[in-house]
Each structure stands twice: as structure tokens, then as C-alpha cells.
Amino acid sequence: MAQASSRIRNFCIIAHIDHGKSTLADRLLEVTGALSARELKEQVLDSMDLERERGITIKLHAVRLSYQAKDGSAYELNLIDTPGHVDFSYEVSRSLAACEGALLVVDAAQGIEAQTLANVYLALENDLEIIPVINKIDLPSAEPERVRQEIEDVIGLDASDAILVSAKQGTGIDEILEAIVHRVPPPKGDDAKPLTALIFDSKFDSYRGAIPYIRVIDGSLKRGQDIKMMATDKVFEVTEVGVFAPAMTVVEELKAGQVGYLAASVKNVQDTRVGDTVTSAKNPVAAALPGYRDAVSMVFCGLYPVDSSDYDRLKDALDKLKLNDASLLYENETSVALGIGFRCGFLGLLHMEIIQERLEREFGLNIIITAPSVVYHVYTTKGEMIEVDSPISLPPPAQIDYIEEPMVKTSIMAPVDYIGAVMELNQDKRGVFINMDYITQTRVSIHYELPLSEIIYDYFDQLKSRTKGYASLDYELSGYKQADLVKLDILLNGEIVDALSCILHKDRAYSRGRKLVERLRSLIPRQMFEVPVQAVVGAKVIARETVRAMRKDVLAKCYGGDITRKRKLLEKQKEGKKRMKQVGSVEIPQEAFMAVLNIEE
């Protein structure tokens, strides 16, 4: 029996930031009539404000396009969008697994970037049909031929039939749609088999609960059916199935090969994990789809309300964000300096910044974040290994035998002119050179192994500035290595301010300590007393500065006529103090805690 799935094509778009993925997606929606040009509120797929501002996709989205092909048949094209950042590579891999084909979009002026390459390899691993698309051919600096050659040399793909496109001007869009129909294979699933569906994303809806976005591999899915999530073994009754057209639209049934969503009154997104397999509760398949893993937090930091009375609001905000973001982890943490807050785990730095910004913008919270940390493996003298993701929980030096830190293998693509700059940066960041490949005569791919802690600290900014923005980076975790790590503490007025502590390499301690105390000296306002600012490793003071005592903070003469005014002046001064954190007898402004995040070395 000819399955309906022969008219279905599931594809995604692989592109580097700025290479025009969103504009292209908009064109596809427009041409297939999914949305009129007027409805297209520029880049529909990237619907979060933050995403629009940053020009990147953070959360994935999906959309169904109806396309009347030149062969006379109507096709259902499902575009599954992928996030464009290394922090979300697992999510990307699951989106790719839901597709049979991928558009590889490369900027005609810039060529392939490291992140794109990493995702192409992921797509090849998933046996996706790859259609090269060279975009922005309207640019004066476009070199489509050079880019075509680059695709062949670097990826080993036949790029002779790469499609030349200007998404901006709308040229080449029909060719892309035809190529999707003819070159991307239809899904192979079988409606008659037991249900297997892959969750590639999920979102939380306050009425319908956690809604997994799924690709049905085999079998079919209807309202009323009992399903089981294989990672958690939990069973739910389906209350609704639907597709993205592009808004959520209820359908009777989802069949093998189709992309859509289901609602089943799932309480939270922890039960609709990306990569998990949905199967029938009555007739489950034996094995889940391959490739699932739990979200792994790479970066941790402390999140504290500036005003301690905002703790409950911060907790509510995190709870709400967590509804939609299973990869966000948090637990209570108490800092002597900052009071009660949270230790939060993130997929990476971008993820951390996004959460921070959303807490501030969407929830209006004023928060202090502490220096990001990676997860260290600390081997104690008792022979145990403990995972430490916060300087606060590092055992005292006497109990530590040795410490291992997470390492990453990086791949940096850059024009040959910047080889020196890239190498210098990696040496500075304790990197160990692995190798370097010439992609073309003018571009190289450089591989280093370096500590993850160096990547999360000022690495992207440095890479960008040292290569004038021409380099791109991809990295993956490569294991743990022993390193000479120490805890750097900051003492204000002789007391440790735990929120300013960090774990770092011994060779870094002196210069970081020096810079930090200088910075703090300039950020901490003069107080009633002289405040010594010290950087300490173990028992040794490695740097010291002094915030001199304030000498004048007084009202001019108070006479009967201006008492109200004087009282108000004092009220105002007191109000200003509320934005400060009182640590011991020292008042510390919010910026001082942020100083540890961006000290240039």
C-alpha cells in the first residue's frame, strides 16, 4: 500500500549566524502561502524578542508548508528549525534526527564557518540528504564559485548543483522547494507498526501543559490514545494532536512521517524531554530511538536577588522558565555575602546569558550573578571523587588530593591571516595544539584542546576581537584532566566575600587577583572606614589595595526652615544604599560582583 508519507518531506536548515537562515525561512513560508507577506512579522520562526535582537535561534520551532510542486502533486513540507549556537548542539542533533534532509545555507561572501561544519557532520551522521544553498548572491562581495569549491573541499559534498539564492530578494526560492521535493527522500515509516515518535522540542502551555513537538517515525497518534514516555516510563492520555500551520492547528491523526505536536496534560517539560521516544502504552516498542541523553549542564553560576526580599520572586521566575526549559537546573545556594539564592546550571554561556536577561526583562528582577564555574572533579585525600560546581563548595586545601577539570576540543575556522592570532589566544588560554588543516588556500581549521573554564571566561570576545570577527568556533567536551587549580578568595576588611571567590589555574591567580582587587577598589565607594581589599590564595595574600575612608558626608548647617529638605536628602542617601549589598561592615555595589565576570587579562 502506498503510504501517504510519500508526499511528506521533513527538512531543516543548517546555517551559521547571519548567513540568512531566518530570512530564507520567511521566504519559504511566504511563497508556500503559509503566511502572507503582510502577516510575516519579519522572521516568524524566531519569535522570542531576545532571539530577534541577537539574530539567533535559541528555541527551535517547526512549521508545516503546503507546496504545489511542478509535478502537479501537493506536498507537505515540514521545516524543523534548529538553534544556531554551540550551547544547544544536542538539541540540534535531535532536530536533525527528525528530518530526512537539510538545506546547508552558506553565505556567498563568507564561506563555511566552524559551527556550520559541525552541524553538517551531525546531519551526515544522521544520513540526511544535504542540499547546498549559497545565499546572499546579491551582495557585491559574493563569490559563489569560491564558496561552491569550499563546500566540495571541506565537506566533500558534490556542490555542482548548489542552489544560488538571494533570500533577501526572493530569488532561487522555487528551486529550493523543488529540490526539497525531489532530492529529500520521503520518510520511511510504517503506519501499521507500533507507535514510535521522537520528541525534538517541547513547550509549556498554561492550559494544555507541556506539549512535546514530535516527529512520528512509525505508527500513528490520535486523541484518546495512551502513550508512554520511554525515558521516564510515564503514561499519559493524549488529549489533542496537531500540526504547525504555522499556528498550532488540531488534526484528527498524526501518521508515520508527520511532524506535529501532542497534548496530554503533562504537568511539566521534565516529562517531555528532547530526544525521548513516545510510544504506545498498550503496545510499546522494545527499544527507544537512539541518541537520547539527559541535558548536561556545562556552566554553573550563582543567581541572587540584589534585594533579598526578591528571593520568592526569583524562585517563581526560575520555576516559570523551567516550565519551558528542561535544561535549566537550579537548587538553593546560600552565600554569606549575598544571602539566599540559587546555584544554576546551564548548557553553556549563551544559555546563561539568556536566562539572566529573561529574568531581568520579563520578570523585572534585579539580580547578581556570580562568576561562572565549570564542574570540577575533586579527589579528596580520603580517595573519594566529588563534583564541585561552585567555589563555595570546594573542600579546604588540606582535604584535596588533586583536582581535574573538564577539557574541550575546539575547532576554529579562520582566514590564514589570523593563524598567529588564534594560536596566541589558545596558548594564552592554556591550550594544547592538536593540528591545523587548510580548508582552502586562504582558510584554515585549527584544533586545540583546552580547559572548558578558559572558554567560558572571555574566550569568545577575545577570539572575535583578535580575528576581527572572521573566526568561528565549535567545541565539544573531551574529558577531564588533572590541573594545578587553586581557589582565589577576595577579602574585604579581612572577611572573605564568598560570592567573589573563583577556582582557577595557579598560574592565573596572581594576575587575576591583582586585576580584581584594583577593579574592586575603584568600584567600592569610600566607606566610614578604610577597607583593605585583598586577593588571597590559601593563606597567602597575593594582592592588596585599599579603599580609603570617606572623609566628607555631611549636611551643611540645619536650621528650622529646611529640616524636611534635609530629611529627604538623607532618605535619598538611604535609598541609594538599598542597591548595595552589606557584607560585614562593607557596602558593596552590584557592579562589584559583576566585576569578576569581565576582567580582561
Partner 1 sequence: MRVIFWKPDTECRVPNAEQARALYVHVPFCGSKCAYCAFASFVPAPGYRERDVQGWLAALNMEADLRLGGEGRERGRGFSSVFVGGGTPTFLTEAELEGLMVSVVAFAGAFGEGEMTVEANPDSLTPGKADVMRRFGVNRVSLGVQSLDEILLGTLGRRHSPGDVRRAVRLLRARGFANINFDLMFGLPGQGLDVWKRTVSEAVDMEPEHLSLYGLTVEPGTPLARRLDGVSGGSNTCQLPSDDDQADMYEWVVDFLAAQGYLRYEISNFAREGFACRHNEAVWRGEDYIGLGPGAVSTEHGVRTTNASSLGAYIEAVQKIAAVPHNTNPALRILSAAANVERLSRDQRMSEYMFLGLRTAQGVSREGFSRRFGVDMMDIFGHILVKYSHDGVLAFEDDRIFLRPQYFFVANAVLKFLILDG
Q: Hey, which residues does 481 pair with through a beta bridge?
A: 405
Options 20-28, 479-487, 539-547, 555-563: segment touching partner 1 (CB under 8 A): 555-563
- Taking CB under 8 A as the rule, which mask of x and - marks residues 501-540 in contact with partner 1? --------------------------xxx-----------
Beta carbon nearer to partner 1, 463 or 586? 586
What is the rounded end-to-end Cα distance, in angstroms, of the chain? Answer: 67
Q: Hey, which residues does 345 pair with through a beta bridge?
A: 300, 329
Beta carbon nearer to partner 1, 336 or 555? 555
Backbone angles phi, psi at 366, to 5 degrees: -105, 110
Residue with cell 521566504: 27
Closest separation in Å from C-beta 490 to partner 1: 22
Q: Which of 558, 579, 597, 598 binds partner 1 (CB under 8 A)?
A: 558
264 contact partners, CB below 8 Å, separation of at least 6: 209, 227, 236, 237, 238, 239
Closest separation in Å from C-beta 555 to partner 1: 6
Task: Tell me how many residues contact partner 1 (CB under 8 A).
Answer: 27
Closest separation in Å from C-beta 561 to partner 1: 4
Q: Which of 47, 571, 579, 597 binds partner 1 (CB under 8 A)?
A: 571
Beta carbon nearer to partner 1, 194 or 589? 589
How many helices (H) and strands (E) the chain has is answered by: 14, 33
Beta carbon nearer to partner 1, 66 or 573? 573
- The C-alpha atoms of residue 168 and residue 240 are separated, in whole angstroms, by 37
Strands 376-380 and 400-415: antiparallel
Q: Is 494 in the site for partner 1 (CB under 8 A)?
A: no
Closest separation in Å from C-beta 36 to partner 1: 55
Backbone angles phi, psi at 40, to 5 degrees: -70, 90
Q: Is 566 in the site for partner 1 (CB under 8 A)?
A: yes
The one-letter code for the residue type at 33 is G
Options 220-228, 264-272, 538-546, 550-558: segment touching partner 1 (CB under 8 A): 550-558
Query: How many Cβ atoms are within 10 Å of 452's Cβ, its own excluded?
Result: 21
Q: Which of 2, 74, 286, 554 binds partner 1 (CB under 8 A)?
A: 554
Q: Which of 53, 573, 597, 598 binds partner 1 (CB under 8 A)?
A: 573
Query: How many Cβ atoms are within 10 Å of 571's Cβ, its own excluded?
Result: 10
Cβ(245)–Cβ(228) under 8 Å? no
**What per-residue string of b and e applies to 301-334 under the rule 16 or more CB within 10 Å gives b?**
bbbbbbbeebbeebbebbebbbbebbbbbbeebe
Closest separation in Å from C-beta 568 to partner 1: 9
Options 298-306, 330-338, 408-416, 571-579: segment touching partner 1 (CB under 8 A): 571-579
Q: Which three cell numbers stand for residue 389?
A: 560546581
Q: Is 559 in the site for partner 1 (CB under 8 A)?
A: yes
Q: Is 574 in the site for partner 1 (CB under 8 A)?
A: yes
Q: Which residues of this protein are in contact with partner 1, per CB under 8 A?
A: 527-529, 549-564, 566-567, 570-571, 573-574, 577, 585
